Protein backbone atom coordinates (compact mmCIF):
# COMPACT_ATOMS: atom_id res chain seq x y z
CA UNK A 1 0.00 0.00 0.00
CA UNK A 2 1.18 3.54 -0.67
CA UNK A 3 1.66 6.08 2.10
CA UNK A 4 -1.51 7.87 0.94
CA UNK A 5 -3.50 4.60 1.02
CA UNK A 6 -2.24 3.85 4.52
CA UNK A 7 -3.15 7.36 5.68
CA UNK A 8 -6.66 6.93 4.23
CA UNK A 9 -7.05 3.58 5.98
CA UNK A 10 -5.90 5.06 9.30
CA UNK A 11 -8.41 7.89 8.99
CA UNK A 12 -11.31 5.61 7.98
CA UNK A 13 -10.78 2.68 10.37
CA UNK A 14 -12.67 2.85 13.66
CA UNK A 15 -11.45 -0.20 15.56
CA UNK A 16 -7.89 -0.98 16.48
CA UNK A 17 -6.14 -3.68 18.44
CA UNK A 18 -3.18 -3.07 20.70
CA UNK A 19 -0.84 -5.84 21.78
CA UNK A 20 1.40 -5.37 24.79
CA UNK A 21 4.03 -7.59 26.35
CA UNK A 22 2.94 -9.02 29.68
CA UNK A 23 4.89 -10.93 32.25
CA UNK A 24 2.95 -14.01 31.16
CA UNK A 25 3.12 -13.32 27.41
CA UNK A 26 1.33 -11.23 24.77
CA UNK A 27 -1.89 -9.39 25.68
CA UNK A 28 -4.17 -7.81 23.07
CA UNK A 29 -7.13 -5.48 23.51
CA UNK A 30 -9.51 -3.71 21.12
CA UNK A 31 -9.57 0.05 21.41
CA UNK A 32 -10.66 3.34 19.90
CA UNK A 33 -7.81 5.31 18.36
CA UNK A 34 -7.01 8.32 16.27
CA UNK A 35 -4.23 8.78 13.72
CA UNK A 36 -3.13 12.36 14.24
CA UNK A 37 0.09 14.07 13.13
CA UNK A 38 1.50 10.72 11.94
CA UNK A 39 1.04 9.08 15.36
CA UNK A 40 -1.51 6.68 16.79
CA UNK A 41 -3.18 7.99 19.94
CA UNK A 42 -5.34 5.99 22.32
CA UNK A 43 -6.70 6.50 25.79
CA UNK A 44 -7.46 4.18 28.65
CA UNK A 45 -8.43 4.12 32.29
CA UNK A 46 -5.84 4.92 34.92
CA UNK A 47 -5.51 1.27 35.91
CA UNK A 48 -5.44 -2.07 34.17
CA UNK A 49 -3.33 -4.81 32.67
CA UNK A 50 -2.55 -2.78 29.53
CA UNK A 51 -1.02 0.00 31.67
CA UNK A 52 0.90 -2.46 33.81
CA UNK A 53 2.33 -4.07 30.68
CA UNK A 54 3.27 -0.73 29.08
CA UNK A 55 4.98 0.41 32.28
CA UNK A 56 6.96 -2.83 32.35
CA UNK A 57 7.78 -2.86 28.62
CA UNK A 58 6.60 0.00 26.37
CA UNK A 59 6.96 -2.01 23.14
CA UNK A 60 3.56 -2.43 21.49
CA UNK A 61 2.01 -3.66 18.27
CA UNK A 62 -1.05 -1.90 16.87
CA UNK A 63 -3.25 -3.31 14.10
CA UNK A 64 -6.31 -2.04 12.26
CA UNK A 65 -8.11 -3.05 9.11
CA UNK A 66 -11.12 -2.48 6.93
CA UNK A 67 -12.65 -5.48 5.23
CA UNK A 68 -15.77 -6.44 3.34
CA UNK A 69 -18.29 -8.97 4.60
CA UNK A 70 -16.90 -11.65 2.29
CA UNK A 71 -13.34 -11.06 3.66
CA UNK A 72 -11.92 -11.15 0.15
CA UNK A 73 -11.43 -7.39 0.03
CA UNK A 74 -9.42 -5.92 2.86
CA UNK A 75 -6.81 -3.36 3.82
CA UNK A 76 -4.70 -3.84 6.93
CA UNK A 77 -1.84 -2.05 8.61
CA UNK A 78 0.40 -3.01 11.53
CA UNK A 79 2.60 -0.65 13.54
CA UNK A 80 5.30 -1.95 15.88
CA UNK A 81 6.56 0.79 18.15
CA UNK A 82 6.77 2.30 21.59
CA UNK A 83 3.84 3.50 23.69
CA UNK A 84 4.59 6.81 25.39
CA UNK A 85 2.23 8.55 27.77
CA UNK A 86 1.20 12.01 26.58
CA UNK A 87 1.90 14.54 29.31
CA UNK A 88 2.15 17.74 27.28
CA UNK A 89 -1.14 19.62 27.76
CA UNK A 90 -1.37 20.91 24.18
CA UNK A 91 -0.68 17.48 22.70
CA UNK A 92 -3.20 15.93 25.09
CA UNK A 93 -5.92 18.39 24.07
CA UNK A 94 -5.08 18.19 20.34
CA UNK A 95 -5.06 14.39 20.26
CA UNK A 96 -8.23 13.98 22.31
CA UNK A 97 -10.01 16.67 20.28
CA UNK A 98 -9.11 14.73 17.13
CA UNK A 99 -10.40 11.52 18.71
CA UNK A 100 -13.66 13.10 19.85
CA UNK A 101 -14.20 14.55 16.39
CA UNK A 102 -13.50 11.18 14.79
CA UNK A 103 -16.01 9.37 16.99
CA UNK A 104 -18.50 12.28 17.12
CA UNK A 105 -18.26 12.39 20.91
CA UNK A 106 -20.55 14.75 22.80
CA UNK A 107 -17.86 15.04 25.50
CA UNK A 108 -15.68 17.61 23.69
CA UNK A 109 -16.50 20.17 26.38
CA UNK A 110 -14.41 18.16 28.84
CA UNK A 111 -11.29 19.26 26.99
CA UNK A 112 -11.70 22.80 28.28
CA UNK A 113 -10.12 21.41 31.44
CA UNK A 114 -7.25 19.08 30.44
CA UNK A 115 -6.32 18.62 34.08
CA UNK A 116 -9.71 17.04 34.74
CA UNK A 117 -9.29 14.77 31.73
CA UNK A 118 -5.83 13.71 32.91
CA UNK A 119 -7.33 12.69 36.27
CA UNK A 120 -9.80 10.38 34.55
CA UNK A 121 -7.77 8.76 31.78
CA UNK A 122 -4.28 8.23 30.42
CA UNK A 123 -3.45 9.14 26.83
CA UNK A 124 -0.69 7.38 24.92
CA UNK A 125 0.85 7.68 21.50
CA UNK A 126 2.66 5.04 19.51
CA UNK A 127 5.94 6.41 18.27
CA UNK A 128 9.28 5.18 16.91
CA UNK A 129 7.34 2.69 14.84
CA UNK A 130 7.91 0.32 11.96
CA UNK A 131 4.91 -0.19 9.74
CA UNK A 132 3.72 -2.92 7.40
CA UNK A 133 0.55 -3.11 5.34
CA UNK A 134 -1.36 -5.67 3.35
CA UNK A 135 -4.36 -5.56 1.06
CA UNK A 136 -6.44 -7.75 -1.22
CA UNK A 137 -8.89 -6.69 -3.88
CA UNK A 138 -10.53 -10.10 -3.83
CA UNK A 139 -9.36 -11.15 -7.26
Residue 97's domain is classified under what CATH number?
A: 2.30.110.10
pLDDT at residue 42 is higher than 70? yes
| Domain tally, the chain | 1
Contact 50, 44 (CB under 8 A): yes
Contact 20, 82 (CB under 8 A): no
* Percent of the chain with pLDDT strictly greater than 70: 88
Is the pTM higher than 0.85? yes
Domain of residue 62 covers: 3-137
Cα–Cα dist 52/44, whole Å:
12
Contact 50, 17 (CB under 8 A): no
Amino acid sequence: MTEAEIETLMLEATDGRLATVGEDGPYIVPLAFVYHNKHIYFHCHKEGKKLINIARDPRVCFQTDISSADTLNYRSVIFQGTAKQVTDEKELVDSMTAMMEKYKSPMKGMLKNPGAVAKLIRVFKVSDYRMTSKFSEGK
